[in-house]
Amino acid sequence: MPRSRIRSFQITDLTAELNQPFRISSGQHDELKNLLITITLDDGTTGLGEAAVANHITGETLAQARRNLWKAGELCVGRPVGTAQWISSNLHCRFAQNPAVIGAVDTALLDARTRHDRIPLWRYFGKTARALQSDVTIVLADLEETRDSINRFYRQGFRMFKVKIGRDLDRDIKRILLFKDLAPGCPVIVDANQGYTPAEMVRFVDQLKRRQARLDLIEQPVPREDWQGLQEIERKTRIPVCADESARTLKDVHKIIKYKLCSAVNIKIMKCGLFHGQRIARLCQDHGIRLMIGGMMESGIAMTASAHLAAGMGGFTYIDLDTPFFIKGAVERHPYLSPSGRYTLGAVPAGIGLNRDQLYDG
């Protein structure tokens, strides 16, 4: 276990311009406005982590995250980097209502540790770096903007799409029908971000089936606490349902498994951190629950850390690591992400493999 100790803990703003507003049923991002932390070990090794705050999803705020990151830094400084799991466990106890802090610190600790050991981050999670092909998100929009986005991303090489829905059922049906002509045969995931009732979702699926439109997965169709709604929709539509907002913690996932509430779980390090993300993935794999790896509005730091988790562990059916495509200049500066959404991490020399100047252009 590494003996090098944590010498310093720095917090800086991480902001960037988006190519377009990222709209979902519960709100939207107009810019990237996160916090970047830098952990420096006593041998000079550094590790990066990112707190991506989505107030309209988790209720966290940037000010809250900044305050709690300073407290987390006080816990970290002076401790061996090899005690990362112990630090993470303490953060889960102290900041359960601010999980972006846990995700940021977990990432920076593991980035520093694996850089110190001169191994890529994926080696912490497995022996092989599997290539990952991400889907791309079509944000909540009118028909014209939806059509333009499908055409643009299809030309770019994407062949799996995730469509944000949840405000206007009839319009959402028309938006999904566009894929029959514009992206024929491509898998389509719909994500309502808690925007519909079970009855509305069943009607939505029924209308699409009548028109022979493809639908491969339904993500978080109902409010977070509507556990039976998840189960009812999967039973009535016979389409796999994925829990996102309903699967924030290990306790949530245990409940999903115990009562057979749905078929898939979306793991995001901004909900649970890297260490708990790994535990949730193993738990789901042991019980036949499909896995998605996703994120909030994150730069390449957090997105690529998640990619390392999925690439190293394997067994992830759905890859939803596309937010760099919504940040100006991010993909062009990313050495391990192709314009069509493919992550190839085998060549990463150590850690996450990115520095701050590779996050975006500007």
Provide the pLDDT for residue 1: 41
Percent of the chain with pLDDT over 70: 99
Residues 11 and 157 occupy one common structural domain: no
Distance CA 160, CA 162 (A): 7
**For the residues 76-95, what does the mean pLDDT come to?**
97
Buried b / exposed e over 116-136, threshold 16 CB at 10 Å, is: bbeebbbbbbbeebbebebbb
Residues 155 and 218 occupy one common structural domain: yes
Burial category of 74 from C-beta neighbours within 10 Å (exposed 0-12, middle 13-18, buried 19 and up): exposed
In this structure, is residue 264 part of a structural domain? yes
Distance CA 165, CA 212 (A): 19
In this structure, is residue 55 part of a structural domain? yes
Could you report the per-residue pLDDT of 289-337, keeping only the tens digit for each? 999 999 999 999 999 999 999 999 999 999 999 999 999 999 999 999 9
pLDDT of 46 > 90? The answer is: yes
In this structure, is residue 312 part of a structural domain? yes
Residues 283 and 159 occupy one common structural domain: yes
Boundary residue ending a domain (90, 118, 146): 118
Boundary residue ending a domain (118, 140, 167): 118
Name the domain count of the chain: 2
Residues 173 and 305 occupy one common structural domain: yes
In this structure, is residue 253 part of a structural domain? yes
Residues 39 and 178 occupy one common structural domain: no
Distance CA 101, CA 332 (A): 28
In this structure, is residue 147 part of a structural domain? yes
In this structure, is residue 152 part of a structural domain? yes
Range of the domain at 295: 123-358
Residues 220 and 342 occupy one common structural domain: yes
Q: Helical H runs in 13-142?
A: 55-58, 62-76, 84-94, 99-116, 122-125
Could you report the per-residue pLDDT of 190-217, keeping only the tens digit for each? 999 999 999 999 999 999 999 999 999 9
360 pLDDT band, cuts 50/70/90, is low
Could you report the per-residue pLDDT of 105-124, keeping only the tens digit for each? 999 999 999 999 999 999 99
- CATH number at 317 reads 3.20.20.120
Provide the pLDDT for residue 59: 87
Provide the pLDDT for residue 361: 52
Distance CA 4, CA 242 (A): 40
In this structure, is residue 309 part of a structural domain? yes
Boundary residue ending a domain (66, 101, 118): 118
Query: Which of 214, 262, 206, 266 lies closest to 234, judged by CA?
Result: 262
DSSP 188-211: EEEE-TT-S-HHHHHHHHHHHHHT
58 pLDDT band, cuts 50/70/90, is confident
The amino acid occupying position 268 is K
Classify 161 in phi/psi space as left (phi over 0), alpha (psi -120 to 50) or beta.
beta
Residues 137 and 98 occupy one common structural domain: no
Question: Which residues are registered as beta bridge partners of 310?
Answer: none
Q: Which long-range contacts (CB under 8 A, 24 or more apart) does 11-15 make?
A: 11/35, 11/36, 11/37, 11/66, 11/69, 11/70, 11/73, 12/36, 12/37, 12/38, 14/50, 14/299, 14/359
Residues 114 and 185 occupy one common structural domain: no
Burial category of 89 from C-beta neighbours within 10 Å (exposed 0-12, middle 13-18, buried 19 and up): middle
**For the residues 234-254, what does the mean pLDDT come to?**
97
In this predicted structure, which of 16-30, 69-83, 161-175, 248-262 has the lowest mean pLDDT?
16-30
Burial category of 231 from C-beta neighbours within 10 Å (exposed 0-12, middle 13-18, buried 19 and up): middle
- CATH number at 48 reads 3.30.390.10
In this structure, is residue 1 part of a structural domain? no
* Cβ–Cβ under 8 Å, residues 142 and 326: no
More confident residue, 150 or 58: 150
pTM: 0.97
Classify 193 in phi/psi space as left (phi over 0), alpha (psi -120 to 50) or beta.
left
Distance CA 33, CA 353 (A): 22
More confident residue, 358 or 70: 70
Residues 152 and 70 occupy one common structural domain: no
Residues 106 and 179 occupy one common structural domain: no
Residues 231 and 278 occupy one common structural domain: yes
Report residue 166: phi and psi, to 5°.
Answer: 130, 0
Provide the pLDDT for residue 357: 78
Provide the pLDDT for residue 274: 98
- In sequence order, which residues have a C-beta less than 8 Å from that of residue 190 and are 6 or more positions away? 162, 163, 165, 172, 176, 204, 215, 217, 218, 219, 221
57 pLDDT band, cuts 50/70/90, is confident
Question: Which residues are registered as beta bridge partners of 351?
Answer: 120
Residues 64 and 171 occupy one common structural domain: no
